[in-house]
Amino acid sequence: MATKKKDPTENPFTFFKSIKTGDRYADANVSHPEYGYVDSGSYMLNALLSGDIFGGFHLNRFFMAAGEQGSGKSYMMKNNFIKPLMDMGYFIFYYDTEHETNEAQLIEENGFNPDQFKLVQEHTTAEDVFCSIAELLDTLEADKGKKMKNERKVAFVLDSLGGMSTKKTMNDATKGELKQDMTKAKVVKAMFVNITNRCGNLGIPMFITNHIYMATDGYGDPKRIANGEGAKYFASVILTMRKTLDVPDKNTKEVKGIILEATVYKSRMVKPRKTAMLYLDYNNGLNRYYGLHNVAIEAGLIEEFDAKKFPALVEKLPKEKNGQTTRKTCYVIKDPKKDPNDWIVCLAAKSDRKEYVGTILEEINEYVKKEYKFRPPALGASENEAPEVEDEELNEIIEDMDLADAAKAENLRKAVNGED
């Protein structure tokens, strides 16, 4: 019998495409639904979250804010995550393991719609929280049925991971025993192993607050994220936050807000260690434009005024109350859409305002997308030479790796520097 000749135009991968995997999306050759982003209310926070100042919190991923007390974690969670989601029609399951709030406060002070959230406070152990979320997911998966996309808009909030106890700790306390609990990290990891993929398939975002503790072992960063590795592995984005400055009211001298430093500890979209300064006003929330001026300076879009370099702009310098040209530091907003003679000049202290930095948002975003986002490797990247690492940089790498063994550290040093 004659052998059938192979059609040279046939796609060689058709055979593999026809094999069933049991995954509805893969077998139907369709992509998982895109859920998009929710704007955080701050352009720089959006940049850290998504690598795009017009992005924000991804609507089917886990986000963790880890920081010291007073660093704005819970405030951000309520006002920059929950409230915008409610405006988009989401229902929130709010697990408050610290008994930090109540329904009346959330409704009256934060403006939550009472029909759009459940405040869960009785579940204070990691096991109870885990079982509760798992049962909710069972219900949502059954409700979704065989549909390709979950039509129920829902989000989870856990405030905080550090506020959870465990069954073991509770039992030990009942017995009057004070023992170190080695089970919590395992329970937390099991929790995230179970729920991460399920939430992703249902398009459920989750906001987790966590604590930072001071390590005493003498290796690596002394400030570390608490509660084991589970949450660190499964969260898509982790930001560490710290308060850098109290901002006083110029009239009453009372503290009206704080300057925060937010740093990318982990991200699947943004390069690690990217940092942004944020301004949190206690009455008005996160300032949308604050921090953009720092990036604009990096990008060369804002430059300190120099009369020799910008003679045509001398007349645009701000004036004092007496009509004299200011002697304070000024910046030039180098808007590429305008003729250089039409560029704006402003006081350095006002460069973070909408009327100044807000005129070059698209240009700033081009820089953010280029410098903040992970980018695919260029062709031939494997042939590139490894970058040279200075001793100081190498020491930091070794510290970050927590290498207690001096021999391992020395081997790493030799390998990086190409020594035998």
If you average pLDDT over residues 54-64, what whole number do you get? 94
80: left (phi over 0), alpha (psi -120 to 50) or beta: alpha
Question: What would the DSSP string read from start to end of 35-52?
Answer: --EE--S-HHHHHHHHSS
Q: Which CATH class is domain 30-168+182-290?
A: alpha beta
The tokens for 234 are 């499964």
| Chain segment 287-313, per-residue pLDDT in tens | 999 999 999 999 999 999 999 999 999
Q: Which residues of 190-226 are buried (b: 16+ CB within 10 A; e: fewer)?
A: ebbebbbebbbbbbbbbbbbbbbeeeeeeebeeebbe
If you average pLDDT over residues 308-331, what whole number do you get? 94
130 has pLDDT over 70: yes
- Relative to beta strand 91-96, strand 62-67 is unpaired
What does the domain layout of the chain look like in residue ranges? 30-168+182-290, 299-372
If you average pLDDT over residues 226-249, what whole number do you get? 84
Specify the pLDDT at position 216.
Answer: 47
| Chain segment 22-45, per-residue pLDDT in tens | 888 888 888 888 889 999 999 999
What is the pLDDT confidence band of residue 221, given thresholds at 50, 70 and 90? Answer: low
